[in-house]
Amino acid sequence: MPAWIEGRSVSREEATAAAGRLLAGARHAIVGGLAGDVDAIRAACRLAFRLGASLDANGSEGLYAELSVLAGSGVMATTPSEARARADLVLAVGTVAARSPALAALAAGEPHRGDGSRRRRLIVVAEQPGPAAKSGRDLHVPPVAGSLAATLGLIRAIAGGRLAADGRSPELAELGAQLAGAAFGVAVYDPGELGDLAVDLLQGMVKELNVTTRFTTLSLAQAGRAALQVGAWTTGDGPRTGLARFYPEHDPWRFDAARLIAAGEADAGLWVGPLAPLPWPGRLPAAALLSGAAGGEAAIVIDVARPGEDAAGTLWDEERGTLAYRPALRPGTAPTAAAVLAAIEAALPPQVASC
């Protein structure tokens, strides 16, 4: 079925018109998700401008934990392909990193650029070492007092020579020596799990290590990267942007979709999510553009093509850390999210004004 209203199968045109009425009648609408190709994100931004809505992207929580550090002091980062090619030491920080496919891929190989005699070792700073770490070869360091931020501060002081590891755990002493002896180290982390403070401590340690060796980071927060790029050239800021005054206002707190919904400040939403499921079911009246929809995910659901599979599109390429075009693997008949968003915009009344 192509579209549903309250679980009832309808034509796509009927659902599009209903979505337009829902959004046009809202006092404060959220256009969220932005989990699609570049054309879909641009169309979502245009619709939000028409509505005076706020924008927020899927994955913003992790994205903003990193962006705050980037804006304040800068970050050092690499791509998964470069990490696999060069890293002889991988530092995984946090449970998400310890259990991530990215760490498993790194653990499964050896560096093939640079000094070919070096073997890859893992250091896991988490409650549990995770499946990628190998006993006897890799090092597991439990967090101090259960705090990743406190542990990273301690590790940074030891690695920087400001604190002796004597009298502390033997794992911390060994960790400091291994960090200093890396030829090309990579720290893998999830900024959403770590938070601003721990990310800042990690990035500061990496910069200090680069005085004597080569070290960088690999962030696991890839959701929302395409929205960040498009938002930067469309509104001048990240995806948490308000358009109620019909010019962009960027505020990561005010325009956090989860906060807006919890506080009752938003009364309607549109989820643009061919690449991500809807996180708002039952929390506010919403229309959702989803790939492979079942019909009950929201009040109004429209099935759209999945970019890179059912339709061609320009998407975020995690391997290369950039936007890249992907052809359709198996072209389908479902419309693109960009086309449906344009139809919703066309269905709006001539004058849509925000209060």
Mean pLDDT of the chain: 92
Based on its alpha-carbon atoms, the radius of gyration of the chain, rounded to whole angstroms, reads: 23
Asked whether the beta carbons of 341 and 272 are under 8 A apart, the reply is yes
- Same fold? 3-59+224-347, 65-219: no
Q: Which of 59-73, 121-135, 254-268 has the highest mean pLDDT?
A: 254-268
Q: Of all residues in the chain, what percent carry a pLDDT higher than 90? A: 78
Task: Answer with the residue of higher pLDDT: 115 or 18.
Answer: 18
Give 355's pLDDT tier (boundaries 50, 70, 90). Answer: very low
Class of 3-59+224-347 in CATH: alpha beta
| Residue 354 confidence (pLDDT) | 47
Work out whether strand 3-5 and strand 8-10 pair parallel, antiparallel, or are unpaired. Answer: antiparallel
Read off the tokens for 7.
Answer: 């679980």
CA 314 vs. chain centroid, Å, equals: 17
Write out pLDDT tens, residues 161-184. 888 876 667 788 888 889 989 999
| Dihedral pair phi/psi, residue 180, rounded to 5° | -70, -30
Q: Look at the domain 65-219 and name its fold.
A: Dimethylsulfoxide Reductase; domain 2 (3.40.228)
Write out pLDDT tens, residues 248-273. 999 999 999 999 999 999 999 999 99
Asked whether the beta carbons of 252 and 258 are under 8 A apart, the reply is no
Read off the tokens for 288.
Answer: 């959702």
| Residue 1 confidence (pLDDT) | 61
* Rounded CA separation 216/79 (Å): 10
Closest CA to 94 of 131, 136, 128, 61: 128
Give 116's pLDDT tier (boundaries 50, 70, 90). Answer: low
Domain residue ranges of the chain, discontinuous segments joined by +: 3-59+224-347, 65-219
3-class DSSP state for residue 36?
coil
238, HSE (Cβ side, Cα atoms, 13 Å) = 24
2-11: long-range pairs with CB below 8 Å, 24+: 2/302, 2/303, 2/334, 3/300, 3/301, 3/302, 3/303, 4/293, 4/295, 4/296, 4/300, 4/301, 5/299, 5/300, 6/299, 7/295, 7/296, 9/295
* Number of CB atoms found within 10 A of residue 177's CB: 12
State pTM to two decimals: 0.89
Write out pLDDT tens, residues 189-225. 999 999 999 999 999 999 999 999 999 999 999 999 9
Q: What distances in angstroms separate CA 176 from CA 121, 334, 335, one per listed residue?
A: 14, 54, 54
Write out pLDDT tens, residues 48-59. 999 999 999 999
Task: Answer with the residue of higher pLDDT: 8 or 238.
Answer: 8
| Residue 23 confidence (pLDDT) | 97
Does residue 325 surpass a pLDDT of 50? yes
* Number of CB atoms found within 10 A of residue 214's CB: 16
In angstroms, the first-to-last Cα distance of the chain is: 36
* Number of CB atoms found within 10 A of residue 211's CB: 8
| Residue 137 confidence (pLDDT) | 78
